Chains A and B, each alone.
Chain A
Amino acid sequence: SAVISQKPSRDICQRGTSLTIQCQVDSQVTMMFWYRQQPGQSLTLIATANQGSEATYESGFVIDKFPISRPNLTFSTLTVSNMSPEDSSIYLCSVRTGLDYGYTFGSGTRLTVV
């Protein structure tokens, strides 16, 4: 299965600033997925990043707040823009290894906004 390197692993940021999270996959994948887990909540899909086209955002998430880049088949970034304390969450990138095999995840970015 794929191996995903995600960084940073954690950060503490000031409100109003932006943070870019990077994910590198050790193999080429068509789609990469970005998830968020707010405290006490379930993992929620933010968007699907496709190479060569704009990301597809889920209801409640917009490109201005969470711009995504996908320059090639092994790399993607998610930016959390103009942060507020409500953005404090764990952010995960993932790839799907097949419906019968589930997701492979990065190790997550634990973000605290103060």
Chain B
Amino acid sequence: ILNVEQSPQSLHVQEGDSTNFTCSFPSSNFYALHWYRWETAKSPEALFVMTLNGDEKKKGRISATLNTKEGYSYLYIKGSQPEDSATYLCAFIISGTYKYIFGTGTRLKVLA
């Protein structure tokens, strides 16, 4: 059974703080890793698609890194804002089958 784990499960930060969380995945059979942001009552929105070991992607104040050899990805948010409050999901895509395995998500609450 392939497991994708995210930590922490939830966290609260103050507006302006920077934060990061982790997605751990199997280091074998790797095709790609996706990050999504899921706000309450909205559709999950794709943030990053990461495919190569050492990848670093950035979108505004949010960035992500990828280490396929050790099986982890970090998502960073710089200067958190209340609108960043959401659940952040990672999804591991299995090489060959292209099946997606989602993590349980990290629920972020940014306090004004």
- Are the CB atoms of B43 and A106 closer together than 8 Å? yes
Which candidate, B54-62, B69-77, B99-107, is the interface stretch facing chain A? B99-107
**Which B residues are within 8 Å of any A CB, using their own CB?**
4, 31-32, 34, 36, 41-44, 46, 49, 51, 89, 91, 93, 98-105
Nearest neighbor of A100 in chain B, beta-carbon distance: B49
Which of A45, A100, A107 makes the CB contact (< 8 A) with B43? A107
CA distance A42 to B103 in the complex (A): 5
- Are the CB atoms of A104 and B43 closer together than 8 Å? yes
- Are the CB atoms of B43 and A99 closer together than 8 Å? no
Nearest neighbor of B44 in chain A, beta-carbon distance: A105
How many pairs of A and B residues are in contact by the CB < 8 Å rule?
A: 49
- Are the CB atoms of A108 and B43 closer together than 8 Å? yes
Which of B51, B99, B102 has its CB near the most chain A CB atoms (within 10 A)? B102
Which of B42, B44, B101, B104 makes the CB contact (< 8 A) with A103? B44
Contact residues in B for A107 (Cβ distance below 8 Å)? 41-43
CA distance A40 to B103 in the complex (A): 10
Contact residues in B for A104 (Cβ distance below 8 Å)? 43, 46
Which of B31, B34, B99 has its CB near the most chain A CB atoms (within 10 A)? B34
CA distance A7 to B108 in the complex (A): 26
CA distance A104 to B91 in the complex (A): 13
Contact residues in A for B44 (Cβ distance below 8 Å)? 92, 103, 105
CA distance A80 to B91 in the complex (A): 25
A12 contacts B by Cβ under 8 Å: no
CA distance A22 to B105 in the complex (A): 25
